[in-house]
Amino acid sequence: MSTVDRKTQRRKLDLAQDILGYRFKNETYILSAITHPSAVEGKPVKYSYERLEFLGDSILGALVADAAFHRFPEIDEGGLTRIKVSLVSGQSLSRVADDLGFADFIIFGQSERGTGRRGLHSALENVYEAVVAALFLDGGLESAKAFVADTLLEYMDLDMASEPENPKSMLQERLQEDGITPTYKLIETQGPPHDRTFITQVYAGPKALGSGVGRTKKESESQAARSALDQMEPDRAQEKHDRERTSEEKAGPHAVRKADVPRGRPEGRTAEKADGPAGASASSALPEG
């Protein structure tokens, strides 16, 4: 039985479509995509984002791989893989979804709201993937591709090709040069059993080097190692900053920087008119309370 009233569903459904800049012909897709499993406990799995997340993950991977392949013709298979892995990581997707304002329209059930939505990081990632699938099902591949291009591909960077596929191994190699072995400690577990988020800290002796968040313990350890490596390479980070600044200066004073793009509807998107059959109307999309 749904733990969310229809008025709340309607409000969040409208907000989601406003932020996406897309009107669904069949609102069932987007409603499922923004609904956390805790909001439809006892109902079939199709009413939450879980199945759409599975489909969206595959579509997203293909779109990012295609973009990297054509954007960087000089990069080998290993580099392309590292670019893809970095861009579709849970940390990347949750950050992008949060910047777009997804947290304002995700529908949580009472059990999750009671925890202060501790699993929000994981939910943001899941909903981003589910939205990709919803757009694909409702508007075809071009709709999904436009969304990914507008919201994610702008962060694709050549530097990602040199990031380690296995940051834990690289961190261990770095530290062992000084006779140190890194250790990992799970410091917090958030969310209900079906939607866990793990937070891990990596240490060199008693010194904390970095922390990471992931949907599995392994992913959180990997993100912690990557964070530690980033902090150990300030020169590389500074070089990247200097290159971006130089590019902006060359573009001229009127160029739009990523940081200047407002939250909400992605630039260049136009809303599509909901001209589907009556059976696909908003009211029919809402599950019974």
Q: Looking at the annotation, which residues are catalytic?
A: 57, 129
For 269, phi then psi, to 5°, come to -90, 145
Locate 150 and state its tokens: 């507008």
Q: Contact at 8 Å (CB) between 124 and 94?
A: yes
Q: Per the structure block, which two tokens stand in for 141?
A: 């591949």
Q: Evaluate the CA torsion angle 5, 90, 256, 75 in order and state its sign.
A: negative
Dist. CA 88–CA 67, nearest whole Å: 13
> Could you tell me if 200 and 217 are in contact, meaning their C-beta atoms sit under 8 angstroms apart?
yes
Residues 61, 88: contact at Cβ < 8 Å? yes
Q: How many CB atoms lie within 10 A of CB 176?
A: 11
The Cβ of residue 207 has, within 10 Å, a number of other Cβ atoms equal to 8
Q: Count of alpha carbons within 13 Å of 273, Cβ hemisphere only?
A: 1
> Residues 6 or more apart from 192 whose CB is under 8 A from it?
38, 111, 112, 115, 119
